[in-house]
Amino acid sequence: MGHAADSGQAIALLYRTNSATAEGIARHLLGCDAEFVSALGARTDIAAYAGKLVERALRFEAWAGGTLVGLVAAYAGQEGEGAYITNVSVLPGWQRRGIGTRLMRDCLAHARRGGLPLVRLELRAGNRAALKLYEGLGFCADDPGEQTLRMRLELRGENPMQKSTNAEAFMLDIDLKGWRLFEQAIQPDLAERMNYDCLQWIKLCNRMQVEGGISTIGDDTGHHTLGRGDSLDEFIELHPLHAFINAYFRSRPYILHAFNPVAGAPRAASYVHRIHRDARSYLPGIGLKLNMLVMLDDFTLENGATQVLEGSHKLAERPSDEYFAANFKSLTAARGSVVLFNSYLWHRAGFNATDRNRVALTVGFSLPFVKPQLDYARMLGPDHPLAASALTRQVLGYNSMTPISLEEWYRPESTRLYKANQG
């Protein structure tokens, strides 16, 4: 599913992320080959390059029907490192429509949200159209050469979320308060699509709750909502705020523990309104789990928002209702904002006194040896990760699967289900 953004040649353009296969990328690059100042096919094996992009790069894509018409691909580093844009291409006939600019802006916005300090790229000398595009986006020449011009864009100083992009400050907040807010960390169009898709999943889960005999009407929550190829799969491939999640787990591999949307229905109550925390075993000083709250509607005092008791991640026992009610803080922010918080933090959903939903996606991450709520790798199947990045495969648990037969147990290291670095 994509976001209609441009009518193009009487076909709506859809902007997606990381959805193209290696074969689709290769077809696109072959179609653009003559547009490169020096033909790409003369410089590299296009099929192998496309496979590398699927394996390692973040891909920002423009689609017209079933055709990939625009592609920006970047290799993104960790906190403190930069990103390198390796490809910018738009099919002939679709150029001069702002597609390349839109995809570049999406890529740079992702880099800013991820806390990356700079972005680099290279272009062939004499490519005036590309040079004009990059200069318009703020890139400056870094190392001009006779054949190749290297350019860079510094992001650290310009970022209005600079305080939020420092991993040390983030970890200090997590230690003292137990949480950190990243305002409007998700692109508006993606947040809008995620809102819609979460509600569709919740309808399905409500029906399954009734059919399973565990509810008479459903509780307006969904669970483990991946695998349909919609915006939620797109979101998990983007890895927003990975630099900070990585800092929380001290650069150790981590996996998805839970992926559950909540409708936040008006004037309704469910289990999420009870004071709770999302890690039942309390092991002080050990960061086993981290929660992510993605706000897919504005969170306001009127619709209840999410209420947290700051510093309560250091409490072994549940605080009383009276103490919580007297001391909680409401986490309010605009749609697209994200909160990361220690899973030991005591919190609850506030009561929605409005007439509209307050949709959110609640996500949990954990160290690989902590049993997730659902075995995502088994649910999604062995073919799902073929077009996914290495980080996505790690997060979905494909590197920490538990064998269920001797055939799966006796495998060579290269195909072993539980990798050696999983803790």
Q: For 32-51, write each residue's pLDDT tens digit.
A: 887 776 677 678 899 999 99
**Out of 1-5, 234-238, 304-308, which region has the weakest mean confidence (pLDDT)?**
1-5
> Is pLDDT at 10 greater than 60 in this prediction?
no
Tell me if 281 sits within 8 A of 377, measured CB to CB: no
Confidence (pTM):
0.68
For the purposes of burial, counting CB atoms within 10 Å of the CB of 397, is it exposed (0-12), middle (13-18) or buried (19 or more)? buried
| Rounded percentage of the chain residues whose pLDDT exceeds 90 | 60
Give mean pLDDT, residues 222-232. Answer: 94
Tell me if 261 sits within 8 A of 360, measured CB to CB: yes
Alpha carbons 115 and 355: distance in angstroms, whole number: 36
> Is pLDDT at 161 greater than 80 in this prediction?
no
The amino acid at 300: T
Largest separation between any pair of C-alpha atoms in the chain: 72
CATH class of 3-159: alpha beta
Q: Which of 93, 74, 90 is nearest to 29 (CA)?
A: 90
CATH T-level fold of 165-409:
Jelly Rolls (2.60.120)
> Is pLDDT at 357 greater than 80 in this prediction?
yes
> Is pLDDT at 162 greater than 60 in this prediction?
no
Secondary-structure percent of the chain, ordered helix, strand, coil, rounded to 5:
35, 25, 45
What integer pLDDT is reported at residue 409 of this predicted model? 93
Delimit the CATH 2.60.120.620 region(s) of the chain: 165-409
DSSP 37: S
* Cross-strand partners of 88: 72
What integer pLDDT is reported at residue 394 of this predicted model? 95
Give mean pLDDT, residues 324-328. Answer: 95
Cα of first residue to Cα of last residue in the chain, in angstroms, is 36
Delimit the CATH 3.40.630.30 region(s) of the chain: 3-159
